[in-house]
Structures are given as C-alpha cells and as structure tokens.
Chains A and B, each alone.
Chain A
Amino acid sequence: MRILIPLAVLVALVVGLPQAASVFHAWFPAVSHPVYVRTSFVMLTAAHVMLVAVATTLAVVIGLALGVFATRPAGRSLLPTVRAVAVVGQTFPPVAVLAIAVPLLGFGAAPTLLALVLYGVLPVLGQTIAGLDNVPAASLDAADGMGFGRWRRLLDVELPQAAGPIVAGVRLSAIVSVGTATIGSAVGATTLGSPIVEGLVGNNMAYVVQGALLVGALALTVDGLLATLERRLKLPAA
C-alpha cells in the first residue's frame, strides 16, 4: 500500500495534469498558460528519476565502500574522522552544496549530480558505519572461530546484520535527492523542478503547484519502495 497509492497518484498526475487546463484556469484565472507544456511531464519525471537514480547509486557505492573500509582493521584509525565528516556533513543544507558545485562544473545536470552524490553519500556512510559497528561482538567472535575469511565474514555475517540500518540510510539519501534535484533546475538541469523554477520566475503559480505535486508524489513513491525493502531486510529479532 505504501508503494501503490503514491505510485497511482504519480501516474494519475503525469497523465491527468495536461488534461486539467480548465481546472488550473479556474484556480489561477490570472495566468495565461495554465499548464506547463515546454517539456512533457513524462519527460520531466523520467529525467528526474534518472538523475536521482544515478546519484543514489553512486552515493550508495561510495558510502558503502567508505563505511566498510572505515570499519576494517586497516581503516579503523580513520573511523572517528569519517564518522565526524558523515555527521557534520549532513548539517550543511543541500542548496549550499549545489551553490559550491556550480562554479566548479558550470550549469546543467553535472553540478546537480555532484551535489546529489556528495550529499547522498553521507547518510549511507553514517548508517553503514552504525550498522556494521552494532553487529554483536559474539557474532564476530563466533564467525572468526569457525573459520570465516574476512570477505566471507563481511558478506555472510556483517552486512546481513547491518542491512536494516544501511537501507534506512539509502532511503534517506534517495528522499533528499528527490527534493534536492528540484533545485537543480535553478542551475539548468531538466527536472520536475523546471516548472517550479519557471513558475516562480514568471509569477505562474499554476506551474509551481504542478511541479510540487509531482515531486511530492515521486518522493512518497520512492520512500514507500525503500521503506518496504527496509522492513524486509530487518533482522528477525528487531
């Protein structure tokens, strides 16, 4: 249900909004173009999802790799630093990261992607470290004593027990990305933020409402999807 309802709403919006010119005309009589038509909502949604998917995938790969490294004997000495960066980094607003990325990469999708990845890494990293750190010492002692190799122990014993918290981090990362990608349109990326930004600039509240509705429905869909995955991966004991 957590997936189906928001997904149905999202599809209904993508299909229905272009047909709803009369509704928006009645709602916002002052605007001359009541429905955003520069790019189709299907295209905008697809571009938005694509950007978030690529950013989240990269964030997960990087966050997971760093988290695993920081909890291995070789990386243990870096653990406090990595943990501090992960915690402090999340207090920066994503917009600030975007603002720093533009001078480096120019306008368009590239700075948005960089901002999304940088910001998205932090929750994954934090939760990976927390999850791996919380695997009971007895589990590790037993695994070592029974002759698991390092990799085997990581894959068979540690990651499964840390999977719940890690997916919680992925979920947070993806949700933040869905929202932050919207701001990407301010620096020239094509996303569901495009109607919002254009609406704000051109004083067209109908565009803003359309963009906001779509982003909201997409965020709830992604959240529902990952929340379900998180529940599946939770330890039987929890």
Chain B
Amino acid sequence: MIEFDHVSKVFGGSKVIDDLSLRIGEGELFVLVGPSGSGKSTLLRTINRLVPVDAGAVRIAGEDVVTRDIEALRRGIGYAIQSVGLFPHRTVAQNIATVPRLLGWNAEETRVRVEELLGLLRLDEPGMADRYPHTLSGGQQQRVGVARALAARPAIVLMDEPFGALDPLTRESLQHSLKTIQRDSGTTIVFVTHDMDEAFRLGDRVALLLDGKVAQVGTPLAFLHAPASPRVREFVGGERGRLRELAVRLVRDVVRLGETSSGHAVDIDASLQDALAAMLAQGHDALPVCEDGRVVGAVRLGDLVARPS
C-alpha cells in the first residue's frame, strides 16, 4: 500500500532519513517508533508531501506521490497531529467537516458523516457539535482531531504523536477508540510515537527508527522475542521487556479451555497485563475467563510467567 523506496532526506547537512526502505500493508495499523530526531515524523510527512524527499521515492498503491496533484493527494489522506490544530473559529462539527467541505460533499452527506463520527469517537454529548474548540478538554480536542482526520473516509490516515500530550487515562481511552475504529473500517494507519508501550499496544507491526534508518521492523512480539541488535533490545527494555510482553499478549493465547476457577472472570480478549492486575487485585493465582459473557476456561499465574513456546 505505502512503499518507501531508498528514501533519503537531508536537513541542514545532516541525514534525517538515510536510504530507508519500508513497506506498509493495506489495512495495517503501522507504528513508527523512535527517539526524538530519529526521523519518524519526517518520514511520516513524506507520505503526504509535507516534506519532499531528496532521494528515492514514496509510493502509494504503486504510484509515486510526486506524480499526484498535491491537494488531491492530501485530501485523500487523513492527518492528525499532537498539537491537534483545530480551527478556533469553527465549531466542532465544522472542524470535523473540513475535508468533506474541501471535497465538495453535499450538506446532508456531510451532516450524516459528522453525526456518525461524533458517535464513533464518543463525542455525542448534547450540544457538542456546536461548541468551539476552546471549550473542550485536551482529550475531547484530540477526539475531534481524530474525527477530522477520518471524516472523508480516507484509505490512509497519518497520525503524528496524536496522544502524546494527553494524560495516561485519556490516552488509553483514545488508543482503544482508535484501535476499534481502525479494525472496523480497515483504514491503513501510519502512527508515529516515541512511546514504546503505545507502539506495542497499538501496532499490528512496528518499525523502530534510529538515526534515520530502520533498526527493526516486525510485530511487537517479534521485537520482544528476537530483538535485531543490542540497541533494539535496549529500547524494548531488556529484562523489563517481559513486562511489556504482558501488555501485548492476550488471555486468549494462554487460556485453559474447560477449566474453571473461583473469582471474577477476565475477558478472553483482555491483555495478560489486565489478567495479572485482576489476579493481584483479587488475591487469586487463577481466574475464570469469559467470552461473550460466558465462562469458557481459566487462566493461571504460572501461564503468565512461563516463556511462550
């Protein structure tokens, strides 16, 4: 879907992106993670040509982005940023309708889509559509920012540390919303963050960028089980990487179907971290597991600690 082909970018004499090649598949939630200055934001911004590349090519569906009309290209790609950049002189509904308006959607079509997005992003309290951005909390503003990025049903959405400025609870809630929306819509999302936990929680696949190069690309579990280099291992957290793994793996992977246990059940799609938290809270070393509200098995503490085979 998106292909970086030997892309380089120089800013002020230093190579921010260094002969980088990478493919992002259709419908993937792909996370670019790395420390500040690793080139992740710059790489993201080459996709919608906010940053022109110095060498190599960026292709979408096989087509070099430089051959596309720049405005049409950008209107076809959702864009959300950490500082949100809502238009202060426009209401929530008008902000969300920005790209549909640029694309000339009719009023009814736009209104229906805005309603739908307000619901999807849990912005459906009464009167929300007509409020101005400055009356919203940071979390609500970023929900509007995400809704605006999704408004015209783009095939690709670019997100540059969208949740970076939010408190942990709000961030987690937005991550959850995003993951759900992405799974249901099949949108390809390229997501930039410097937060490894966020990368692993969200990403179908993750690329770790160091000094403008891809240090490793793969699923979160691949990072944890087979770091490509000592530096990658360091970023993943060394020994503590095992703790991260609990957040990535699901109860579904270790459930013992048919067994039972006492205590309050955990959901089969909860993470092992959630299961461990529930065990600690309840003081049990095993808990029942439910799927669609029915108990289907149990999970044991030993299974959380054991290395996956």
A interface, CB within 8 angstroms of B:
136-149, 152, 157, 160-161, 235-237
Contact = CB atoms under 8 A, between A and B. Distances in A.
Interface of B: 48, 50, 70-77, 79, 81, 83-89, 98-99, 102, 132-134, 145, 148, 158
Contact of A146 (B79, B83, B84): B79
A148 B72 CA distance: 9
Contacts of A161: 87-89
Nearest to B132: A236
B83 A138 contact: yes
A143 B145 CA distance: 12
B158 A145 contact: yes
Contacts of B70: 147
B153 to A, nearest CB: 14
A147 B72 CA distance: 7
A160 B102 contact: no
Contact of B84 (A138, A147, A149, A157): A138
Contacts of B133: 237
Contacts of B145: 142
Contacts of B79: 142, 145-146
Nearest to B98: A146
Given A146-B74, A146-B79, A237-B134, 19 more contacts: A137-B83, A138-B81, A138-B84, A138-B85, A139-B85, A139-B87, A139-B88, A142-B79, A142-B85, A146-B99, A147-B71, A147-B72, A147-B76, A149-B71, A157-B87, A160-B87, A160-B89, A161-B88, A237-B132
B17 to A, nearest CB: 18
A142 B81 contact: yes
A136 B87 CA distance: 9
A146 B145 CA distance: 12
A237 B87 CA distance: 11
A147 B94 CA distance: 16
A157 B79 CA distance: 16
A136 B145 CA distance: 15
Given A145-B48, A145-B79, A146-B79, A152 B85 contact: no
